[in-house]
Amino acid sequence: MSRLAGEARVQGHQVLVLQDGEATESNLIGAIDSFRPEFIAFGGHGGPNVFTTTNLQVVLKGCTNDGILAGARVVFISCLTGRELVPKL
């Protein structure tokens, strides 16, 4: 993720990195609400219908709060996330 963030900065994009204890549901959703990013790269864990971060906290769940990502290009680098969640985006 640090290479991706670094390259985005070089290209003139504003970058916000939340990792480890910063990657909570409230921080991630708050950042998306505030910044309305065009591109989001998530690194974490997940299941067929959820994306999780620190301590396996569920951050995104299909048909629950995934609409917050509308209009953004999103990449998930995580286990299983995408089988059901990503096609709904």
- Tens of pLDDT, residues 13-70: 999 999 888 988 899 999 999 999 999 998 888 888 888 888 888 988 888 888 899 9
Q: How far is CA 83 from CA 5, 26, 27, 67, 72, in A?
A: 26, 24, 25, 17, 19
Alpha-carbon distance of 62 to 82, in angstroms, equals 10
- Asked if pLDDT for residue 87 goes beyond 80, the answer is no
Residue of 69, 10, 18 whose CA lies nearest to 43: 18
For residue 78, what pLDDT is reported? 78
What is the pTM assigned to this prediction?
0.80
Q: Which residues are registered as beta bridge partners of 38?
A: none
Which parts of the chain are beta strand (E)? 39-47, 50-52, 58-61, 73-78
